[in-house]
Amino acid sequence: MNPLDRRIRGVVGLLLVITSPLGTDLLQGGVVAWFLLIFGVLNVLAALTNWCWMYAVIGLNSGDSTESDTSQGSLLEDIKLGGLRTKIAVAFGTIVLSLSVLYTIEAINAATKTASLAEARSLHEVSLLVAEEVSDELDGELGKEAPIASLISEKQLVDTLYHFEDSFVIYLGDGKEWVKGSKRLSSTLAQQLFKELDYVIETEAQAQLISSASHPNRHHLSSLADGELPITTIKIGGDTFIAMHHMLVHPTFGSLKLVLARQSNANDSAVDSVLNRLVYSSFIVFWLSIWGAVGVVYFVWRYVSAANNRVYAYAKTDQRTGLANEIALEEVMRKEPTFNHTQDLSILAAFPRNLVNLEADKSLDEVNSVLRRVGSRLKEIVRQDHYVASFHDGTVVIVAPEEDTLVLQTFRLILGDTYRIGDSLVNLEPTFVSVSFPMDVADFDGMRSAVSRLMRQAIRTGVPLLRHDHSLMQTSVQTKDYPGELSAALKNRELELYLQPKVNMATGTVIGAEALVRWNHPKEGVLSPGAFLEILLNSNMRTDFACFVINEAADIANTLRAQGFAVPISFNLSAGDFFDEKVQQTLSDVAEKYSLRDIRSLEIELTETETSISSLRIQEALKLVSWMGYKIALDDFGTGMSSLSYFQDMPISTLKIDKSFVDNLEPSSKNFKTLELVHHLAVSFNYEVVVEGVETQAQVELLTELGYSLAQGYHYQRPLPVADFIIYVDSRCTNQP
């Protein structure tokens, strides 16, 4: 090396050492910083020893030889030109490929951080929704002082994740006691994850690594904006999980911790995204290395940048529809001037109710192709001031100015359109809800919560389009507390059976009564079945409720008989109840206790639509129940499709005509002819017939003309508490035993 070369190498080497981790650490650590340290040390050594390893590799003399440094002729004579090209390629290729490997590592780290940030944002959003759901569950237990495990079950806790299809572990506790559950995880993996999370929670130093949120709506967002990842990473075998927790402040239970953990795919997606591209770029780097490392590094960083952009886009895109996801929409609503509360916007959301059925019947690729077509069509209709996004649970949302009704109508048409999968035509069967910004909701969190509540209400009531209404939202808030309150209501005997009399229309005598449930709500008063019965029948409380009705009806019948009134009591059971072991045992115990085979004081009303589930199995079950001593009535007769098939085989003694046949009853109406035929049919089979829903004297006269004798309805009496019913029966001079 000549003196100038040595001085330059010495100065550059010293600068690299000074800025390295051993000096000022200008690059703040990392693989590249340490590489530059090594490169700087080698240059300092080269300047001190007058020996360069690069020159040695390609065969150049690194000693003090002015002649060899300045004489081109002697240089060419000592070096074979064919071998020089190879050595140069190897030397520069080694350098550039080494840089490529280093930059690849840095790129993977950057991509992993980006993907982890996206996962952290996603987990944050999930935790907000779940925290709200958990709060809703616990609001039903206000004022109760009991361990947290007795107030919310593992199933209730896991059910708060019904929006999401990913694998989760969820904890809820007060620091001393925890309720925990898992979703979509094998029992072995779930137990391992429980063990790791238990250790993290119990160890104070580790617990501090899970970022807490004293203000659940803001803390995580500010942390993410600063580039921090408020998560704990747990590795089990080859799987990686991330965990985050929220602090919930509850009026009764005080500070509660909600911990969520789910599987992380950040590292895999980052490695796949970056390495797939760098496989090609590495070959390009090698062949271009002989023309200079700088040019090659440019190409490497171009691919690395593209990979990072793709990972970032992946984190903000719904992969099934190709639309922006809720993370992207939240960012837009925070940053775009469109959402500065100066313009009225309509937010229309659609939930594809039939998506679960399609996923069960069709392949995932076929279903995704339909969703991609929907996403492509939606992209075509949006303008610069429109925003369309798809949420994790499948809900699709469009945001547009209120006056742009055409786009909103087109959105509904696209979601409600019919699409072809192979030879089949399918429909997503969407349910729509609509809210206004900023009149109904002021930010993304408010919008997400309102859409979720409205959608639940719309699906439950079967309404195709439900618009935001503050009174409706208040009702929704109240209704969502009922599941937790109903469990306590059963235990505290807040449920009560009222009796509606069945009357002989000719004499006015009470010949029986139907037991109908009412809820003596501690705050809202007496609630009719329409407010809570569907919740009961669709919950795990169904069996206990059926047993409650059987026992209460039997006690009431026995009480009436003891006071001298031979009034048979009927109660409702569904087809599924007959195959429940606990219900079967209760029916048997009651029949034996009250000798029903002798007095026949209880009657079971079975809805006709229920019997259509499995007529052969129901037939056998009813024969057993009839043998026990229960009479069987077919309720809501005429509303099903297979009524005639029950006449011959089912052990039925009574038909109850549905109210729909009595409404608007006229001598010239079709209902009149239908009731005439039903009466002849019932007489032929020797069935007793009770007409439900009789409300006027005119209806009584027409039914009497048709030959009917027994009726039930508001014309005679509304459902009454047992004490009032006894007074009513006594006044009507009912049959004595």
Nearest to 230 by CA among 383, 302, 122: 122
Mean pLDDT for 199-215 is: 54
Q: What is the pLDDT of residue 503?
A: 94
Phi, psi of 523 (to 5 degrees): -115, -35
Per-residue pLDDT band for 304 (boundaries 50, 70, 90) equals: low
**pLDDT > 70: what percent of the chain?**
73
Q: What is the pLDDT of residue 219?
A: 37
Average pLDDT over residues 685-707: 91
Q: Residues 639-653: what's their mean pLDDT?
A: 65
Sequence-ordered list of residues with C-beta below 8 angstroms from that of 141, at least 6 positions apart, any chain: 151, 152, 252, 253, 484, 488
pLDDT at 590: 94
Identify the pLDDT of residue 284.
43
Q: How confident is the model at residue 498 (pLDDT cuts 50, 70, 90)?
A: very high
Higher pLDDT, residue 31 or 284 = 31
How open is the CA angle 109-112-113, to the nearest 5 degrees? Answer: 85
Is beta strand 239-250 parallel, antiparallel or unpaired with respect to 232-236?
antiparallel
pLDDT at 554: 94
Tell whether the model's pLDDT for residue 53 goes beyond 70: no
Rounded Cα gap, residues 394 and 374, in angstroms: 12
15: tokens are 């600068």
The pLDDT, as a whole number, for residue 719 is: 93
Rounded average pLDDT over 434-454: 86
The number of angstroms, rounded, from the C-alpha of 680 to the middle of its chain's C-alpha atoms is 52
Res 302: pLDDT: 62
Asked if residues 520 and 485 have their Cβ atoms less than 8 Å apart, the reply is: no
Among 196-210, 256-270, 613-627, top mean pLDDT goes to 613-627
Q: What is the mean pLDDT of residues 263-290?
A: 54
**Distance between start and end Cα atoms, the chain:** 125
- Tell me which amino acid residue 2 is: N
Q: Name 427's bridge partners.
A: 418
Residue 350 three-state SS: strand
Ranges of beta strands (E only) in 447-492 are 465-467
Rounded percentage of the chain residues whose pLDDT exceeds 90: 19
State the average pLDDT for the chain. Answer: 77
Task: Report the pLDDT value the prediction gives residue 35, as an integer from 0 to 100.
Answer: 65
Which of 13-17, 27-31, 303-307 shows the lowest per-residue confidence on average (mean pLDDT)? Answer: 27-31
Residue 606 is inside which H or E element, if any? strand 602-607
What pLDDT was estimated at residue 678?
A: 86
Mean pLDDT lowest among 116-120, 216-220, 584-588, 712-716: 216-220
pLDDT at residue 198, rounded to an integer:
80
Q: Quickly state the pLDDT bin for 60 (edges 50, 70, 90).
A: very low
Predicted confidence (pLDDT) at residue 672 exceeds the cutoff of 70? yes
